[in-house]
């Protein structure tokens, strides 16, 4: 059975990030965590949520870049971008 929570170190390993960046993301609330006794734990669902948010941001960046390139090609060819 898969654990529900992991340590901060394990969270860093799962995401492929350094421990300092992972701790910063937790401190700022980008990755949710909580104390279980004296130990800070990160729910796996919080890691999945963080990853989903990062993927969405990457998709938006990619789409914006594609739009800029298409608009640039249209200007080079003497055409204006048609607004929908």
Residue 10 and residue 24 in contact, taking contact as beta carbons nearer than 8 Å: no
pLDDT tens-digit readout, 37-52: 999 999 999 999 999 9
Task: Give me the residue label for tokens 């909580």.
Answer: 34
- Residue 15 CB burial class (10 angstroms; 0-12, 13-18, ≥19): middle
83 has pLDDT over 70: no
Higher pLDDT, 78 or 81: 78
3-state secondary structure 28-44: HCCCCCEEECCEEEEEH
d(CA 3, CA 9): 15
- The confidence score (pLDDT) of residue 69 equals 87
The answer to pTM > 0.75 is: yes
Average pLDDT of the segment spanning 61-75 = 87
């Amino acid at each position: 059975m898969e654990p529900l929570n992991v340590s901060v170190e394990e969270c860093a390993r799962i995401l492929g990030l350094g421990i300092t960046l992972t701790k910063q993301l937790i401190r700022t609330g980008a990755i949710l965590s909580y104390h279980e006794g004296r130990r800070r734990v990160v729910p796996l669902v919080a890691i999945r949520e963080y990853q989903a948010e990062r993927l969405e941001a990457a998709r938006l960046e990619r789409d914006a870049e594609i739009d800029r390139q298409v608009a640039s090609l249209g200007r080079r060819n003497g055409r204006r971008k048609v607004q929908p």
